[in-house]
Amino acid sequence: MEGGGTMNALTAALKEELNVEMIQVGPLSVPESVVVSWGIMAFLVIVSILLTRNLRVDHISKRQAALETVVTTLNDFFTGLLGKEGKRYVPYLISVALYIACSNLIGVFGIKPPTKDLNVTAALALMSICLIEYSGIHARGGAGFFKSLAAPTPVMTPMNILEIAIRPTSLCMRLFGNVLGAFVIMELIKQVVPVFVPAVFSLYFDLFDGLIQTYVFVFLTSLFMKESMGGEE
């Protein structure tokens, strides 16, 4: 009976976590994940404006030096993955990384992360796969892109086409599944250990695991783009 009670409690908590609350914004009912996403985007815009004020060419401030270090590090990381031909896509990847990182870390403040909404992770995956295929068409040309679908032999064409659909599904479910999996593990831990132990694990899942999932998402997107552009040929 005790085990059944634990499972019932876990099921109820999981249903509540997966439930997408609707927030009334004027005459419109907007999903909570969308409203939180608006807040994250506003926060990133405001921080960007504040950090990029009064930039100088010489005699730069410590703030500008730190900002340039972060931007240069991220730019070099993605350029190293994509190559010079993929440098034009680096701003998108950095923007997505910042959004996913903020979405995963916002749970520390007691706000439900948007990445717990399957619609959000699906939208992120769809945007990425559109960019992946576009980068391939831009780099190879239309004829070269369609020719790559028949590589290495025409027999593989159905599998290569199927892979186009599998990639966004993989990106979507990996991000959503890991964020949701962390919640399930935390609920199980709460049932069997003292209060202070879940707090330690919660810190790990909210901070480190959230950043790891950010890295995995943009890293895989970069690898798929590199492959689509012909980087492995």
Q: For position 96, what pLDDT does the model report?
A: 93
Q: What tens digit of pLDDT does each residue of 68-102 get? A: 999 999 999 999 888 888 889 999 999 999 999 99
Q: What tens digit of pLDDT does each residue of 19-40 get? A: 777 888 778 888 888 999 999 9
Angle, CA of 67, 72 and 77, to the nearest 5°: 130
Q: For position 148, what pLDDT does the model report?
A: 78
Q: What tens digit of pLDDT does each residue of 161-198 get? A: 887 778 777 777 777 777 777 777 776 776 666 666 66
pTM over 0.85: no
Q: For position 7, what pLDDT does the model report?
A: 66
Per-residue confidence band for 45, with pLDDT thresholds at 50, 70 and 90: very high
Q: What is the mean pLDDT of the chain?
A: 81
Q: Which residue blocks in 32-117 are alpha helix, DSSP H?
A: 32-51, 62-82, 90-105
Q: Is 117 helix (H, G, I), strand (E, B) or coil?
A: coil
Q: For position 37, what pLDDT does the model report?
A: 93
d(CA 139, CA 93): 18
d(CA 144, CA 32): 43
Q: For position 140, what pLDDT does the model report?
A: 84
Q: Would the pLDDT of 119 be above 80?
A: yes
d(CA 170, CA 173): 5
Q: For position 91, what pLDDT does the model report?
A: 92
Token look-up 């890295």 returns 215
Q: For position 1, what pLDDT does the model report?
A: 44
